A and B are shown apart, each in its own frame.
Chain A
Amino acid sequence: MTLSALQLDLLTSRYNYYAVVLLLGIGLYMLVESPNLVKKVIGMNIFQTGIFLFFITLAYRAGGNPPVVTKGGGPYVSPLPHVLILTAIVVGVSLTAVALALIVRIYSEYGTLDEDTLEQLYYD
């Protein structure tokens, strides 16, 4: 059985969305499965990056120029998602900073970054 032209087209033209799904999946998997707290935070970042890419892909328009008004004129890609994601990136950076600060405190107190070891210390 061979792929029809339409299916092939779907596969090749939607690669951004595959990247989004991949990033969301990898991020969430790291977040849940990695016992290392720092890697959990990295997973959280990858998960958020997937969402950022999703928004940027939404804004894309075939043949569109960057949304900077110059002499060239339109059509432009939608500037709105870019602005939203700029905000979301700032939020993501602050969250990472707070998370890392908490991890520093946890490490200085318990001397470990391993979740399972921490769990044992925590409930004793």
Chain B
Amino acid sequence: MIEHLPVLLVVVPIIGGAVPLVASLVTDRAGWSIALATTLVHAALAGLLARQVWTDGVVSYAVGGFALPYGIELVVDGLSVAVVALISAISLGVLAYARHAGPHENTFYSQFLLLVTGLTGMTVTGDVFNLYVFLEITGLAAYGLVASGRDASAAVAALKYLVIGTVGASLYLLGVGYALAATGTLNMADMSAKLAAVGYDSTLVLTAFGLMVGGLTVKVALFPLHTWQPDAYANAPDSASAFISALVSTVSAYALARLLFSVFTVDFLTAVPAARWALVALASLSIVAGSALAVSQRNVQRMLAYSSVSQFGLVIAGFTVATPIAVVGATVHLVGHAVMKGGLFAATGIIERETGASTVGGYAGMGTRTPLAAGAFTVLALAMVGVPPAIGFVGKWYILVGAVEAEIWPVVAVLLVSTLLTLAYFARLGERLYFAEATIREEAPVADGGASVSTGMLAVVVVAAVLAVALTAAVPALDQLLEQTLPPLLNQ
């Protein structure tokens, strides 16, 4: 049992995901309980695996017992176990929110568990083609979740997401083809050794890097490739947008880091400065453009989506700097951003249900009408700006220190500018919430067929706000976990 942990993490949610569909024959309200049971098992497995990684270091698993490097390998190290734990925690939070907020259909929970499967698979896999398969499973489930909104506009947003997401994944697949042609292997560890033997300046290797990284940046939603994101987040049901915004781009960013460090390695970045500078440029552009676009939005959820574009630029910048402290910073920000952004989307959902406000103007004076949700929203927003002692501050600080150490000055400058811009769009909301005259007079216009707010929904938002601050205390533990993992990854 214990040696099968990595594969069970993937198998449990995929089997759990089939159960709600079968249960539909009897009742169409069983989905939530099945999803909860499955996610609890997933969380327990993740906990056991984290303990194992903590004591033994890297855990490797050969699927079906086929000899490596020909079989599919699952690899779990400190970095991936942190992301797996994050997936479990966020899934449980979103379930607590969806209990009342819906959607209540069994199919929604099937897709929910399918998304958990895809995300976990992307995190634990040690095989570049397997990563593509899980990327597409994640994609398919995410398109379905976005489309599960009541309005037909959700279908339009989902189709846009599908078309752009497919092109991204296909480019990644094409890159896998080039890497396969260069090395004849798909196993990440094996491939990284053979890429070095082929030579980092070989056209095949450079093309593979460009296509694989390019494809993944579409999924991460860096600046010019982000256009699917605002529509998808703003049109999905609140539970789905909280879930997707917290995890899908996060795990794609993790996959990008895995590709950079485990497949192409830091040596490649050093040997091909153009590749590193291209990524730094893309990330910096994303940071500035995302913040600037966020400032100009009127719809709060679209503003949060553009804010993600900027924050993921920051994470990718941290990974590209590739000094240990910057990578720890990027990981901290990755985890912190998932908690903060998921919480912010959940809070906007509550505020809209209680007051009908969904635009920056509409938020005026709503601070007193929904004190708890607005309070949590403000705390999360300040954490996102990077006010100490919140987790947002720690991540940014580490990335900043790493960039200064590595003397990559554009990242330093852009980080400071973007913090000001982040303050600009969140401060404007905070000001509206508490100090402006209310523009929406009537009590609680019902938007969603008798929409109301449950204790579970409020609890999720409050817990997210508390975590956004309390997680700072967990940074030393994460630091220690990564201390065993990072040196071999970063060749130090």
Contact = CB atoms under 8 A, between A and B. Distances in A.
Interface stretch (B85-93, B174-182, B313-321): B174-182
Nearest to A103: B159
A26 interface: no
Interface in B138-162: 139-140, 143-144, 147, 152-153, 155-156, 158-159, 162
A31 interface: yes
Contact of A109 (B133, B152, B158, B167): B152
Contacts, number: 70
Given A102-B158, A106-B159, A84 B174 contact: no
Contacts of A88: 132, 173
Contact of A37 (B144, B159, B174): B159
Main secondary structure of the interface of A (DSSP, over half): helix
Contacts of A58: 177, 180-181
Contacts of A98: 140, 143-144, 162
Interface in B105-139: 129, 132-133, 136, 139
Contacts of B129: 84, 87
B163 interface: yes
B166 interface: yes
A91 B136 contact: yes
B60 interface: no
Q: Which of B133, B139, B177: most chain A Cβ within 10 A?
A: B177
Contacts of B170: 47-48, 51
A88 B129 CA distance: 10
A110 B154 CA distance: 12
Contact of B159 (A48, A87, A91, A99): A99
17 contacts: A24-B174, A28-B167, A37-B159, A44-B167, A47-B167, A48-B170, A51-B170, A51-B173, A55-B177, A58-B177, A81-B177, A81-B180, A88-B173, A95-B139, A98-B143, A98-B144, A105-B147
Most buried by B among A40, A98, A105: A98
Interface residues of B, number: 26
A7 to B, nearest CB: 19
Contacts of B186: 80
Nearest to B153: A122
A109 B155 contact: yes
A5 to B, nearest CB: 24
Nearest to B235: A122
Contacts of A105: 147, 152, 155
Interface string A78-110: 001100100110010011001100110110011
Q: What 9 A-B pairs have minimum CB-CB distances, sorted nearest first?
A: A109-B152, A105-B155, A102-B159, A91-B136, A102-B155, A106-B155, A51-B174, A54-B177, A58-B181
Given A47-B167, A81-B180, A95-B166, 9 more contacts: A41-B163, A44-B167, A54-B174, A54-B177, A98-B143, A98-B162, A103-B159, A106-B159, A109-B155
Contacts of A110: 152
Contacts of A122: 153, 156
Contacts of B156: 106, 118, 122
A16 B144 CA distance: 36
Interface in B253-276: none
B136 A51 contact: no
Contacts of B158: 102
Contacts of A40: 163
A109 B152 CA distance: 6
A54 to B, nearest CB: 5
A106 B152 contact: yes
A104 to B, nearest CB: 9
A54 B181 CA distance: 10
B80 to A, nearest CB: 22
B297 to A, nearest CB: 14
Nearest to A99: B162
B177 A91 contact: no
Contacts of B162: 95, 98-99, 102
Interface in A3-41: 24, 28, 31, 37, 40-41
B140 A95 contact: yes
A107 to B, nearest CB: 10
A94 B143 CA distance: 12
Interface string A110-123: 10000000100010
B163 A51 contact: no
A12 to B, nearest CB: 21
A51 B177 contact: yes
Contacts of A28: 167
Contacts of A94: 136, 140
Nearest to B155: A105
